Amino acid sequence: MTTYCVILAGGTGQRLWPLSRADSPKQLVPVLDGKSLLEAAFERVEGLVPVERRWVCASGAYESIIREKLPGIGCFLGEPCGRDTLAAVALSSAHAYARDQDAVVAFLTADHVIRPLEVFKAALSDAFSLVEAEPDFLVTFGVKPTYAATGYGYLELGEKIADSAITVRHFKEKPDRATAESYLARGPGAYLWNSGMFVWKASRFLELLGRYEPEVARHIATIQAALGTEDYEEVLAETYPSIPGKSVDYGVMEPASRDPGVRIACVPLDLDWMDVGSWNAYAALGKPDADGNVAMLANVVPGEPAALFLDSTDTLTVSTDPAHLVACFGCEDLVVVHTQSATLVCPKRRAEDLKALYAAAAEKGWR
């Protein structure tokens, strides 16, 4: 079996507006000491998957900038439009299967901060080994819950099956708060967060896609039949938008967890894992002062953020300009983001709702 890695980078990062914009979404913004989340994800598998078998699946509109950031990329899989992760994983699996019918593919995300790197690499290596030994397995990675999150899927754990893996009894996608609290109360030995990263044989995934999502499988088969022909781009552009928008969690993982003929394994991740999907999550990357204020510089230019806090508490400031002072006086629980073309000020409690503001700005041409 040959191992591949596909980094899913199709999100628009609306909750990180205005740093994340339509022409430069969050996974391409240099937020980690001048490095983008996509670059960090690409480098994360160094030594496990050779560069020619490291692929990126993202909007076709970002191909040139992604190739510029990742000059060694093995393959860019451009989506003509966003149809959520089920379509992206299915398209990528079809390409991998066409390349190698025994391909084992790791699907990783481009919006996570994962530390330490050595622990993650060991976990990914264990996942590859598990699928190579048991080709029918679907493998996911579990993270110890730290609060009753309603935005993550949960893995109900079963018995241990290897030194580094546990069976998954059920896959619970994004529960309500009361349910999430009940999961948390039972401890990490019962439930883990689903990290949104997976490893499986491309052929196995395509088989299960046909079982659970026959309409999606039909569209993917049409696209797959055009691979390697001069008609591929036209067929992709005509067919892909017709695929129903659905996450791979809802489309495959949940029904697979109820299917007695499918085995799902979880490799627990004993590390720091952060989904940088909102300003509240982004703030955790910085160092708070004695009053809980955090100032950050999001730019490729080295330097310290120009920020002044006076009589302020628990406020986050982010700037792309190290020479521009962001001064907060008498502020409490605020998010203040300054970029060259837009400035955001909002209460932290509303930071998770920024998709509404993103839409309103887009209507006025400020996307």
DSSP letter for each residue of 49-86? S-GGGEEEEEEGGGHHHHHHH-TT-SEEEEESS--HHH
CA distance 357 to 361: 6
pLDDT for the residue numbered 300: 55
Paired with 136 in beta bridges are none
Q: Between residues 280 and 140, which one has the greater pLDDT? A: 140
- CB count within 10 Å of CB 203 equals 17
pLDDT in tens, 203-261: 999 999 999 999 999 999 999 999 999 999 999 999 999 999 999 999 999 999 999 99
Average pLDDT, the chain: 92
Helix (H, G, I), strand (E, B) or coil at 104: strand
- The fold of 3-277 is Spore Coat Polysaccharide Biosynthesis Protein SpsA; Chain A (3.90.550)
pLDDT for the residue numbered 150: 83
pLDDT for the residue numbered 56: 97
At 32, list the tokens: 């980690």
At 265, list the tokens: 């394994």
| Rg of the chain in Å (alpha carbons) | 21
The H or E element that residue 36 is part of is: strand 35-36
Contact 326, 338 (CB under 8 A): yes
Phi, psi of 36 (to 5 degrees): -80, 160
Question: What pTM was computed for the model?
Answer: 0.89
Contact 11, 26 (CB under 8 A): yes
For the segment 161-170, the average pLDDT, to the nearest whole number, is 90
Bridge pairing between strands 104-109 and 191-201: antiparallel
Bridge pairing between strands 326-329 and 307-310: parallel
pLDDT of 12 strictly over 80 = no
Residues of the chain with CATH 3.90.550.10: 3-277
Alpha-carbon torsion (177, 178, 183, 187), positive or negative: positive
Task: Name the pLDDT band for 32 (thresholds 50, 70, 90).
Answer: confident
Task: Name the pLDDT band for 299 (thresholds 50, 70, 90).
Answer: low
CA distance 170 to 183: 12
CA distance 223 to 232: 7
